Structure 1
Amino acid sequence: MFNDRTISFIGGGVMGEAMIRGLVEQKLVAPDRVVVADPWQPRLDELGERHGVQVTRDNGEAAEAGQIVVLSIKPQSVGAVLPQIRGRLRGDDLLLSILAGTPIRILADGSAHAPVVRAMPNTPAQIGRGISVWTATPEVSGRQRDEARAILGALGREIFLDDERYLDMATALSGSGPGYVFLLMEALIDSGVHMGFPRRVSEELVVETLRGSVEFAAQSGKHAAELRNQVTSPGGTTAAALYHMEKGGLRTVVSRGIWAAYQRSIELGRVGDERGKGGAD
């Protein structure tokens, strides 16, 4: 799909590499049509050797080289990076950002570039099982939308929404979601060890229980409450456990935690706005 296009990545971290791996392994782009910019030379050497991509420490050089420029840096670095690529993108280039909590207005103003896609993937993208929520400015063409969809599709599933406010919600729910799942896994595994299981056995039981439950829920098409009721016999072991979890406020704690993540994403956008303005002046 990208035979005549060069894709540049500003930032060679975990998510950037996941996108590169997906694109190259699915043969959507040739390795020599991928450019990666990162300040850490050992990381660049690693990426170049592992994936056969071009590398540079110059963000502006990478931006000029690509028709599609992917921002895969830390949100805290946006104020320093945007001035480095400002004026380097051509009018028909696409800027695609996976920065958490960084609004499109910051990206467009800081880069002086209107065609912008903002996306929020999550960490299962590293194995091609992620899900990304994304939106685009009106200046993004139909071809560019297809390209954005293909890039994000290399990470797993993707959902387009035309209202940017959903991106902060997605950051809190699906973007940070794996962290919540890993915490639950940790608690379940530790509970198994507390009862007397060897940790290795407890880990296998928990991982397979979660994997099977999620796949069963996806295939069944039933509401989570209905599935829960199916395994909760009156007066049984599951009912006893769920009673204490509900009594302990599990739902409230989860809801408050996700709301805090949502508010933090919005706050990061405000902080980034100040940094973006400072960098662009």
Structure 2
Amino acid sequence: MRGVIVGPGVMGQTLAGAFRQLYPHEDLVLLGPPSERRAQLARELRAFEASTPAEASPADWLLLALKPQKALSILPTLRPLLKKETLVLSVMAGITLEHLRVGLGHERLVRSMPNTPGRIGAGITVWTSTGLSAEERLTVEAFLGALGAHVQVEDEAYLDMATALSGTGPAYVFLFMEALIEAGVHLGLPRHLAEQLVVETLQGSVVYYRAASRGAALLRQEVTSPGGTTAEALYYLEKAGFRPAISRAIWAAYQRALALRPPLPQE
């Protein structure tokens, strides 16, 4: 068993960690430009380093975490790494299964969109595939399970939508956390206390949401007393355009995901 990670950046590091978790004693190759980050990751995961496809042997798993803008020029150079049974898994935004098929000349393909909590096994990945047997789909599920929850979809268009919602989602949450913490500090709370209150509130709210099974709108209504502090705060959020701002931001991310999609190359 051999896995090759192409583009060992943040998401490449996440994929490398998942591979090593599932295959603790198998060969892992980090393929990309030489860097201290690549070298450090190789040391941590007991992986080999390669700067060109010629330095890596054919793979059982080819895991693609390239920048989408570079994909079309790099994909054809990876063909020597492929065997008939190689499973190719991409996390590149905007790069479709058809881009992968044409660029690699290969059929066993998975397009996925994980998110950064996958680095600790707490993420969610939306994925679709082509050319896989039932057994190979189970293998993919086991791999993605190392990143957290996963959802297989038949409509590939959902991948671009998931990119805007869950793929980019942690950044929205972190920005909201940052704003809440700063507001607490502005009130006069020590920063460490404001941070603790925000983290526990968010975590507890998600746990409560799952346990209650009543929907976010109803839960919000239950904690909003007429004329109370919550009602006052929510009034100002709505007045400031909180909902439309979120909706427009996610729509902008979705449009950007579509814009990253290059024209299909000639076969």
The TM tier, using the shorter chain, reads: over 0.9
What is the Cα deviation at residue 61 of structure 1?
Answer: 4.4
1:159 and 2:151 matched: yes
1:260–1:41 CA distance, 2 compared to 1 (3 A): closer
The residue aligned with 2:27 is 33
What is the Cα deviation at residue 87 of structure 1?
Answer: 5.0
Q: Bigger shift: 110-119 or 75-84?
A: 75-84
SS across alignment from 2:165: helix
Cα deviation digits, residues 168-227 of structure 1 (max 9, x gap) = 000000000011111111111111111111222111111111111112112222200111
1:191 and 2:176 matched: no
1:12 and 2:5 matched: no
What is the Cα deviation at residue 38 of structure 1?
Answer: 1.6
Q: Which residue type is aligned with residue 162 of structure 2? A: A
- Matched residues in 1 for 2:49 and 2:138: separation? 26
- Matched residues in 2 for 1:99 and 1:167: separation? 10
Residue 263 of structure 2: which of 273, 277, 281 is its match?
Answer: 273
Cα deviation digits, residues 6-41 of structure 1 (max 9, x gap) = 22111211222222223434xx20344222212124
1:118–1:61 CA distance, 2 compared to 1 (3 A): farther
The residue aligned with 1:258 is 250
Q: Which residue type is aligned with residue 245 of structure 1? A: L
Residue 47 of structure 2: which of 53, 59, 70 is its match?
Answer: 53
Query: Which residues of structure 2 form unaligned runs of 5+?
Result: none
Q: Which residue type is aligned with residue 53 of structure 1? A: A
Residue 73 of structure 2: which of 80, 83, 86 is its match?
Answer: 80
- Matched residues in 2 for 1:95 and 1:10: separation? 11
Contact in 2 for aligned 1:31/1:53 (Cα 8 Å): no
SS across alignment from 1:132: strand
- Matched residues in 2 for 1:260 and 1:151: separation? 30
- Matched residues in 1 for 2:5 and 2:217: separation? 42
Contact in 2 for aligned 1:32/1:52 (Cα 8 Å): no
Residue 108 of structure 1: which of 83, 98, 101 is its match?
Answer: 101
Contact in 1 for aligned 2:59/2:81 (Cα 8 Å): no
Query: Which residues of structure 1 form unaligned runs of 5+?
Result: none
- Matched residues in 2 for 1:97 and 1:59: separation? 17
What is the Cα deviation at residue 238 of structure 1?
Answer: 0.2
TM-score if structure 2 supplies the norm length? 0.94
Report sequence identity in percent: 45
1:18–1:12 CA distance, 2 compared to 1 (3 A): same
Contact in 1 for aligned 2:58/2:81 (Cα 8 Å): no
- Matched residues in 2 for 1:122 and 1:175: separation? 5
CA RMSD of aligned residues (A): 1.7
- Matched residues in 2 for 1:41 and 1:199: separation? 36
The residue aligned with 1:129 is 122
- Matched residues in 2 for 1:61 and 1:140: separation? 28
Count of equivalent residues: 267
The residue aligned with 1:96 is 89
Q: Which residue type is aligned with residue 9 of structure 1? A: I
- Matched residues in 2 for 1:143 and 1:193: separation? 53
